[in-house]
Structure 1
Amino acid sequence: MKKQTNLRKRFFVCTCTAIFVLLLSSGGAYAEESVCEPNSIEINTASKEDLKLLPGVGPTIAERIIEGRPFGSVDDLISVSGIGQKRLQDIKEQGCAWVNVELLEEDEEEVVEEGQEELEEEEQENQEEEGVGESEEEGEGIQDDESDDANEDEDSEEAGGSGGNGSGGSGGSDPAPVVDINVVLVKAVAFLQNQELSPDIVMAFIAVGQSADISFLKTFFGDSAISYAKPILAITATGQDPRTFPEEDFVEKLKSFTDDTQLGDPSLLNDDIWGILALRSAGVPASDPVIQNSKAFLLQDQNADGGWAWDAGGTSDTNDTAAAIMALLETGMTETDNAIQLARQYLKEAQNLDGGFPYDPQSPFGTDSDGNSDAWVIMAIHKLGEDPTAWTKSPENPIEHLLSLQDEDGGFWWVAPGTSEWNNKGATPDAVIALSGKSFPVYSISVFQDQESAQEQTESTVGSNMSNVSSSPQMVGEEEIFTEGQREGASRQELLREIQAELLRVEEEAREIERQLASLAAQQAQDELARAGGQIQEALAQETEEQGENEPARAGGQTEFAASLVVGVEETRSQALRAEVAAGLPAQAGANTLGFIRSNMLLLFAAALIFGFGIYRFLRFSR
């Protein structure tokens, strides 16, 4: 009887131990899983298609999220380029950045439509809170850029002459709705984040305070002066130096297309315009011979009507005239100079009655206002220090017309929908820059500032010395001193570029070493997991072979040993998964991420094994 009592006690202890091991091993997993909703996919394991279901996340941002994984918390997503505070808040409202699995089982088109409807409802609620009412105008009144639901209201689109100018015209006497430019820009940026990156989109992001990835420019190669202008403007917009990014001197490349009179093709004017803007954005002083020669070339090719064309001797157009104004103001000219005043007058006379601007007001192919022309002229007006809303025509202004071209998805049409078979939303980047109050260049670096100051100081000193000398040969000494100052400044700049290039190289090597170490750690963790599984199998095999009366006494110790191995396996498994995520390795479907356990089959198997072992011992020694 006493022996049976002891056996029952051992059996009870064995059973409790098995249950305790099961609860202890799975408790931590469930504790963390309870933070987020079940039946969900976490950002650290979700595929690109799943991530695109998050509000405001397109293919570009989804790829950036995947590249930046793992994230310790949802707030860490703010480090992803293109995710601002508003988008982060929208993602967090989904619940720890998780997406309902049921959405993934629906038809893809239905998911997209459902997500779009939810976004429209949310934007409509925000609109009502901010006091932005829906447009109630009939005819061609200015469209409210936030009227996401207005397009479903057929009554608000009744007949009224289209006139080829889209939604222009007075359109009645009702007052125009209040428009929040910030809301307009948020929608436009969201649209651009789903487009392929370009220099124009980069500048648009920077203009509204967003970050931008310019790594795509590392493989850029141009074959003309104008082909280098926009990439340089995009690089400087991010605050980087186009002389060292991407380990190639884009400024020198651009200058290589110059001759003694102008920059680029002598039959073109637009390469001189954009060349000036690019060089000035890179900190090249306005006194630089390349800039001054291009300036003179532009001034001599100004048309009698005050405008400029894209080519020498061509018909004036609003786009190149606006760009020329911005470029010439960068060369040191002021808004009171005669050439600038003539160009300004040309733009004023080109303005349409709908407040917008055509490309060519004399074109026989049409003079409708378009989004690109609106945006470029608005930027020129900003550059002149004037208010675009003050440029009115009975009584519309260019800002109002540009806003009327924004579509529901945030993009800006080139012309009003339905007026051209070639219509597109390529005007969106320029519209964002213009509506944010910026102009070209969006941002300029000042790497030549110290050198230019040193040159001016040297010239001043030499001039002072020359005042006491009447002999003309002293001019040779002045040139020698000035050249030496230039040489010294250039050497300092060359050294700085070499240091920056070396730092970039070292940083890239460090990242590669980190990736290799993380991958090695993942492999080692997997090896340890395999060895631990082998130890469990060996222990169980030895257990079936051992005999003797002392076996009941050893049963408790062996049970503890098997339980410790289970815990060790689980810990090793968790370490392996952490290492895989850190190394950026692809996660398997349903994999545990950062300690989250969705399948406890291994634990259940181990617990059942221990429980069965206890019953076996009990039956063996109860005979």
Structure 2
Amino acid sequence: MIKLFGAVLASVVFLGIATGTIDGSGEKNPVVTNDSLELGLLSMSDGPIVSAINYLSSCQNEDGGFGPDPESESNIKDTAIVTIAFASAGKNMSDFAKGGKNSLDYLIERQAELDNLSNVEAQVGRYVTALASAGLDPRDIKGKNYVQILKSYCRPDGEVGKEFYIWDDAWIVIALAACNESHSNEVKSALEHLKSIQTAKGGWAWNGGTSGEDPDTASIILCALICGGEDADSDAVKRGLQYLSSEQNADGGFSSVGSNAATDGWAIMALNAAGQNPRSWKKGSSDPIGHLLSLQQDDGSIWWKKDSKGFSFEWTANGIIALTGGRMPP
């Protein structure tokens, strides 16, 4: 295993992704922001990002969808994940077509399959985030209004979807934010609920409990809070960031059964959302960007750990977003 670009010069210009409006154009234009000049993140033309995009492209099938590995069967989750990553990179989905179809064609054609998936609320949230990020209007997808569907998962007390599982809460908030619904009553109630279950350590547990927090869950909740309108200087966000700091290891990565790409990707996205510079989160000479890059392989994929592939497709897609200063939703 050979590492690709273990470090990136702090002077490199990274392309910030402007949050696009849903206008049906299918395009999101990367723009260079003034603050990004000093962040030391990656641009869309840097080798690791180009390589990662090429790897994901190699996993596309003739139906326009994507599977977790080259030549593996397409599925909704992985196709949604790659659509979000490509949208974050400012790519037009029509430029990634195979057999005359692209990822949006696949997602729309398999709309009916969503109801049969486990954790359907989280799956629908991810699905809608993908459609909205790519420029479609989820209010009318083959006659279905997915904004109404998302809101139907929200209870008056702020709980979203299943009890004892808060990743669906996060994905629904993220999806509604992607649909320009951050100011809706449903999002406001969901944010209050999520803040109410923040643990004493400042994190969040995947089951919404008072302990057992983990950095992956804390990171996606931070993304949800901020895109839902929570100020990055709020007490909840500050405590969440302090918790993430406590989970950072000497190698610069974030720990969930040791440092790994899954946790790194989500944590970096949370830092980006909070206006933090991930390069400044150093442990000695190491930082999260360098650690995540150290897990990239020759083929462009990003492994879970140096000696373990894990769900590399997902970590690679999230890595593209995180390494270029993106957040969730893009």
| Residue in structure 2 matched with residue 207 of structure 1 by the alignment | 88
Equivalent of 2:263, from 360, 373, 378? 373
Equivalence map 1:211-250=2 (5 Å)? 211-212=92-93, 213=102, 214-218=104-108, 219-221=110-112, 222-223=114-115, 224-250=120-146
| Residue in structure 2 matched with residue 435 of structure 1 by the alignment | 323
CA change 1:226–1:378 in 2 (3 A) is same
| Residue in structure 1 matched with residue 172 of structure 2 by the alignment | 275
Residues 421-472 of structure 1 show CA distances to partners (whole Å, capped at 9, x for unaligned) of: 8574431000011112110111xxxxxxxxxxxxxxxxxxxxxxxxxxxxxx
CA-CA distance at 1:204 after TM superposition = 1.1
CA-CA distance at 1:267 after TM superposition = 2.0
Partners of 1:438 and 1:410 lie apart in 2 by: 19
CA change 1:282–1:422 in 2 (3 A) is closer
Identity fraction in percent: 29
Q: Does 1:188 align with 2:32?
A: no
Partners of 2:174 and 2:317 lie apart in 1 by: 17
Equivalent of 1:284, from 163, 181, 190? 181
| Residue in structure 1 matched with residue 272 of structure 2 by the alignment | 382
CA-CA distance at 1:281 after TM superposition = 0.6
CA change 1:404–1:382 in 2 (3 A) is same
Equivalent of 2:255, from 352, 355, 358? 358
8 A Cα contact 1:242 1:251, kept in partner: yes
CA-CA distance at 1:245 after TM superposition = 2.1
| Residue in structure 1 matched with residue 306 of structure 2 by the alignment | 416
8 A Cα contact 2:3 2:297, kept in partner: no
| Residue in structure 2 matched with residue 335 of structure 1 by the alignment | 232
CA change 1:315–1:209 in 2 (3 A) is same
| Residue in structure 1 matched with residue 36 of structure 2 by the alignment | none
Equivalent of 1:400, from 287, 290, 303? 290
Residues 576-606 of structure 1 show CA distances to partners (whole Å, capped at 9, x for unaligned) of: xxxxxxxxxxxxxxxxxxxxxxxxxxxxxxx
Q: Does 1:145 align with 2:5?
A: yes
3-state DSSP of counterpart to 1:427: helix
CA-CA distance at 1:145 after TM superposition = 3.3
Q: Which amino acid aligns with 1:372?
A: A
Equivalent of 1:295, from 180, 183, 191? 191
8 A Cα contact 2:4 2:297, kept in partner: no
Gaps of 5+ in 1: 1-139, 147-177, 360-366, 443-623
3-state DSSP of counterpart to 1:312: coil
Residues 254-299 of structure 1 show CA distances to partners (whole Å, capped at 9, x for unaligned) of: 222222212211222111111111001111142x221122112111
CA change 1:194–1:322 in 2 (3 A) is same
Q: Which amino acid aligns with 2:84?
A: M
CA change 1:201–1:317 in 2 (3 A) is same
Q: Does 1:253 align with 2:149?
A: yes
Gaps of 5+ in 2: 7-39, 61-65, 67-78, 94-101
Partners of 2:255 and 2:142 lie apart in 1 by: 38
Partners of 1:232 and 1:423 lie apart in 2 by: 22
Runs ≥4 in structure 1, deviation > 6 angstroms? none
8 A Cα contact 1:414 1:425, kept in partner: no
Supply the RMSD in Å over aligned alpha carbons.
Answer: 2.2
| Residue in structure 1 matched with residue 34 of structure 2 by the alignment | none
Residues 210-248 of structure 1 show CA distances to partners (whole Å, capped at 9, x for unaligned) of: 222311111223343212101111011111111112431
3-state DSSP of counterpart to 2:314: coil
Q: Which amino acid aligns with 1:210?
A: K
Partners of 1:344 and 1:432 lie apart in 2 by: 22
Partners of 1:371 and 1:203 lie apart in 2 by: 18
How many residues in Structure 1 have an aligned counterpart in Structure 2? 261
Partners of 1:339 and 1:143 lie apart in 2 by: 36
| Residue in structure 1 matched with residue 163 of structure 2 by the alignment | 266
The structure whose RCO (Cα within 8 Å, separation 6+) is larger is 2
Partners of 2:111 and 2:311 lie apart in 1 by: 28
8 A Cα contact 2:303 2:309, kept in partner: no
Partners of 2:155 and 2:271 lie apart in 1 by: 32
Residues 187-222 of structure 1 show CA distances to partners (whole Å, capped at 9, x for unaligned) of: 110000011421110111122222223111112233
Residues 78-127 of structure 1 show CA distances to partners (whole Å, capped at 9, x for unaligned) of: xxxxxxxxxxxxxxxxxxxxxxxxxxxxxxxxxxxxxxxxxxxxxxxxxx
CA change 1:276–1:422 in 2 (3 A) is closer
Q: Which amino acid aligns with 1:406?
A: Q
Residues 129-188 of structure 1 show CA distances to partners (whole Å, capped at 9, x for unaligned) of: xxxxxxxxxxx9x93439xxxxxxxxxxxxxxxxxxxxxxxxxxxxxxx99751111111
Equivalence map 1:464-475=2 (5 Å)? none
Q: Which amino acid aligns with 2:131?
A: I
Partners of 1:306 and 1:405 lie apart in 2 by: 28
**Higher helix proportion, which one?**
1
8 A Cα contact 1:145 1:179, kept in partner: no
CA change 1:422–1:179 in 2 (3 A) is closer
